[in-house]
Amino acid sequence: MRSIWPTFSLFHVLVCTGLILCTAGQPAIAERSDVPYACLLEGTRGLEKSDFPSTPMPIPDPRQDFFDVLHYKLTLLVDFEPGNLHGSVTTTFKVTTESMDQFVLDFRDNMQVLEVSIHDPYQTPLDFTHQDDLVVVELPVPLTSGQAAKIQVTYTGVPQPEGLFGFQFQETSEGSPVAITVSEPWSARSWWPCKDYPNDKALVTFFLVVPEGLTAVANGNLVSRTPALNQYQMFIWHETNPLPTYLVSLAVSEYEKISQLYVGPGGIFNLQHYVYPYLKEQAQNDFAILPEMFDFTGSILGQYPFNGEKYGMAICNWDAAMEHPTVVTWGDVLVTGDGYFETIIMHELAHQWFGNMITPKDWTQIWLNEGFATYVEALWAENQQGSAGLQTFMAQHSWGVGYLEDPLIRNQDNDNPWYYFQAIVYHKGAWVLHMLRRQLGDTAFFESLYTYANDPQLKWSTVHSDDFKDVCERVSGQELDWFFQQWLQWTTYPIYNLVWDQEPHNDGFRLNILLEQNQDPDPQYGMIPFQTMVDLKFHTSQGDTMVTVWNNQLVQHFEFDLPASTLSIVVDPNRWLLNEATVFGPNSAPVQELPSARWLSASPNPFNPRIWLRWETGYATRDQIEILDLQGRVIRTQTLSRQAPGLREYQWDGVNNHGQACPSGVYLYRVLVRPEGDKNNQEPQLLQGKITLVR
């Protein structure tokens, strides 16, 4: 159809079409876990219920393969009264097929398209339809391969929060307005028309019109800021490097700017943070670590990819963070003044290379973002605290690996946006890199990491896991298909039983070891052995001896001649391998007693809207959680999947089994810790306590 609306003027059309619900308020953190986890703080909480509608993965329209987007120009009026967005998006594209007669963009049906026009070279209205979350534009004449064109879509509406976040109007605790966006994975279409898939990156320019007194922040550099006119002012931002749509970002509020020039191994650019005035001092303290972090990342990854542009944080009302290029969206809850979330600052910084500069071709490859950023956190811990810091970090990040029996490469048929950001892509993704480092050795590993981040064929492009594998093979000279196959595609990891005995031999002792892989069969590949190096530490009567064996069989025998008798054996003492192990001494009895389950924390407590229950065990378990009211009635139950030894976390969002919000009050929790595997003959343990919900 052809639009019957008149030409749209951002300064004059203030059509009020509805009111969006504000989500204001800063929840308090009463208790803290031992370490903040990026997988919990990037708005990615496994398969727990979202605060917003969960939109299934869209199916790409095949007509979108006919063109390549070169540039988006977003002209937006952010209208806080009553909460509307008015805009026009001009898309510059090039035809990639022989002939193209329709132009298709993704855009939610709840938004209203007013007009579509083409620059040819004059502005000419076009016929279009808007349904099924697609804007289909009829081109006046077919375009042929290599031709470029510009099409402008003018629209208005009330964008709805969705998926992980979407577009939200908020208020600070002091009543100042806030507008913020988080579009990962496919929510850019909820607030602007675009080709909303990560495999088509484009340059972006923003013309942001906001009420006088507010600051509008976006990706890239600030080109200009116009004086106030009719109580509005315009901020023009331009991103000079191509971005996928999920990383296009907008933040508007009554910000104060914290600015500092960085000069060092990371490049030359301004650190610019946009913070609520009442959080300025705390933010300055928290973000003061960034120059040191840029020195570190510059030394291992090369210069900041957006060198010459800014880097910093834009605060909003949230309990999470998102790595938007040059301007990370940072929840106000994460501003503490004492550097508590330092590791998350490093995680979001690492995303500037892994995700923002080098972007996965599709969401099945998301470990290339989250696993890499998490392992840079591990390297930062090693830089700050030595090998002990690295080992501790990896131990803390083993709990989410077996959360679901899934491959690290995500299933493209899963339409739940939360599925793609489960803890496994963060934690197991980091473990894959950690084990690759052990396989290649430090020299080849760090050269591979640097080469991957600086390969001219990969920079600013979209990649597959095979692209990273190819770099590692080229640098190391090793064939690595077997390594990436088992760690990316298989659902399991090695679970060892090690049985040993010894006998006098010559002037010393002969140590006999039986090493058995006892993990469950992989659903697709069956019961086949992992191939990996396994470090063994022998505690002997004359000191410790470390050996490394190559384990590539389900049952494997090893012999060692030692000058002294062995007292005990430790598998993987330096935490280089994702595994579980039980050691049996000469009498076939375990020589190491694993710790029982223990409670860690419930935080924040009191809470609103969600609370994290945390506990840990020294063995594999399949736990059950119950939330009860004070009358002893069970209102919420959840059975977790089998998890490896380590930390467990469960989020309760204050709703019952029927999805209804529970009232304020005191609630009881019970966690039944049920041993699995070789420990399933032990009695389950019960952890319990009280929590308080404050509406």
Place of tokens 């020299």: 443
73-97 mean pLDDT: 96
* Interval 671-694: pLDDT, tens: 888 888 666 667 778 888 888 898
Q: Residue 71 in contact with residue 200, Cβ under 8 Å?
A: no
Question: Model's pTM, two decimal places?
Answer: 0.82
133-137, 390-394, 410-414: least confidently modelled range: 410-414
Would you say the C-alpha torsion 121, 124, 129, 131 has a positive or negative sign? positive
pLDDT score for 402: 64
Domain with CATH 2.60.40.1840 in the chain: 495-584
- Helices 423-440/367-385 angle, 10° precision: 60
For residue 495, pLDDT beyond 80: yes
Which pair of structure tokens corresponds to residue 681? 């003959």
Can you tell me the distance from the alpha carbon of 52 to that of 45, in angstroms, rounded to the nearest whole number? 13
Fold of the domain built from segment(s) 495-584: Immunoglobulin-like (2.60.40)
Fold of the domain built from segment(s) 598-693: Immunoglobulin-like (2.60.40)
CATH number attached to the domain at 64-254: 2.60.40.1730
Q: Residue 430 in contact with residue 404, Cβ under 8 Å?
A: no
Domain with CATH 1.10.390.10 in the chain: 359-489
Can you tell me the distance from the alpha carbon of 182 to that of 179, in angstroms, rounded to the nearest whole number? 11
- Output the 3-class SS for 117-164: EEECCCEEECEEEEECCEEEEEEEEEEECCCEEEEEEEEEECCCCECC
pLDDT score for 157: 97
- Helices 342-350/290-301 angle, 10° precision: 40
Burial class (CB in 10 A: 0-12, 13-18, 19+), 53: exposed
- What are 680's strand-pairing partners? none
Can you tell me the distance from the alpha carbon of 531 to that of 482, in angstroms, rounded to the nearest whole number? 8
Can you tell me the distance from the alpha carbon of 40 to that of 30, in angstroms, rounded to the nearest whole number? 17
Backbone angles phi, psi at 47, to 5 degrees: -105, 20
Q: For residue 228, give Cα distances in angstroms to 142, 503, 594.
A: 43, 88, 67
* Interval 3-25: pLDDT, tens: 322 233 433 332 222 222 222 23
601-628 mean pLDDT: 84
For residue 172, pLDDT beyond 70: yes
Question: pLDDT grade, residue 590 (50/70/90)?
Answer: very low
Domain with CATH 2.60.40.1730 in the chain: 64-254
Average pLDDT, the chain: 88
For residue 344, pLDDT beyond 90: yes
Can you tell me the distance from the alpha carbon of 583 to that of 91, in angstroms, rounded to the nearest whole number? 62
76-85, 428-437, 647-656: least confidently modelled range: 647-656
Percent of the chain with pLDDT over 90: 69
Please provide the size of the chain in residues.
695
Domain with CATH 2.60.40.4070 in the chain: 598-693
Pick the more confident residue, 608 or 72: 72
Question: pLDDT grade, residue 405 (50/70/90)?
Answer: low
pLDDT score for 16: 27
Task: Give the pairing of strands 495-505 and 580-584.
Answer: parallel
359-489: CATH, from 1.20.58.1610, 1.10.390.10, 3.30.360.10, 3.80.30.20: 1.10.390.10
Q: For residue 167, give Cα distances in angstroms to 247, 316, 459.
A: 13, 12, 29
Side chain identity at 586, as an amino acid letter? P
Can you tell me the distance from the alpha carbon of 109 to that of 191, in angstroms, rounded to the nearest whole number? 11
Question: pLDDT grade, residue 37 (50/70/90)?
Answer: confident
pLDDT score for 57: 79
For residue 288, pLDDT beyond 50: yes
Which pair of structure tokens corresponds to residue 327? 């301007």
CA 18-21-23 angle, to 5 degrees, is: 155
Q: Residue 187 in contact with residue 162, Cβ under 8 Å?
A: yes
For residue 573, pLDDT beyond 80: yes
Number of alpha helices (DSSP H) and beta strands (DSSP E) in the chain: 10, 37
Backbone angles phi, psi at 324, to 5 degrees: -50, 135
